[in-house]
Amino acid sequence: MAGMKVLADETRVAELVEQLGRQVARDVASARGWAMVGVRSRGDVLARRIAEKLRPDHVGTVDITLYRDDLSEVASQPVVRPTEIDFPIDGLDLVLVDDVLMTGRSVRAALDLLMDLGRPRRVWLAVLVDRGGRELPIAPDQVALDLTGAVEPGVDHLVEVHVRPTDARDQIIVRPRLHEDAIA
């Protein structure tokens, strides 16, 4: 695709996931009971990868489709997949994992969903990539690749994280936004 640039290949993505895991481990070291919750469809993959090493008490997945404030713009028939949190979140420290943080709207949707499920003691936000371009006052607690200021401002470019098994390979790319791309 014209204008596409690979920011991280498979080896670099693995390094970034390790780096994010170290940051999470540092912050949850004093947590009494904690869980990792990934945002579908790539934050959940990243959460599971990190959880393999850190061994949280619980690992879950949230599907924010019905919590999005732009649902009508995303698709006429959105695909809703299950939220998989089979543990009570009341009083738990949670690490919410997402692949890319840009506007903050996906994180807001995930927080709304989590609050409907209970009242966690604390929520940390861990993102693989901070793209910048915030529309809401949301900031990550842990971030592996900070691109704020490194990618053209505005929403004319997308930063995409590709991870197996959701995608064919692990990589991070930046590419021009196409007309059919929804704003996340």
Q: pLDDT by residue (tens digit) across 20-61?
A: 999 999 999 999 899 999 999 899 999 999 999 999 999 999
The CATH fold of domain 10-23+33-151: Rossmann fold (3.40.50)
Rounded to the nearest 5°, which phi and psi values hold at 18?
-60, -45
Encoded amino acid at 108, one letter: R
Average pLDDT over residues 126-132: 96
Task: Answer yes or no: is pLDDT of 151 > 90.
Answer: no
pLDDT for 78: 74
* Domain locations in the chain as residue ranges: 10-23+33-151
pLDDT confidence of residue 28: 96
Q: Structure tokens of 166?
A: 């959701």
**pLDDT tens string 60-107:** 999 999 998 866 555 566 788 999 999 999 999 999 999 999 999 999
Instruction: Round to the nearest angstrom and report the end-to-end CA distance of the chain.
Output: 21
Whether pTM > 0.75 for this model: the answer is yes
Q: What is the per-residue burial (b if ≥16 Cβ within 10 Å, else e) of 33-46? A: ebbbbbbbebbbbb
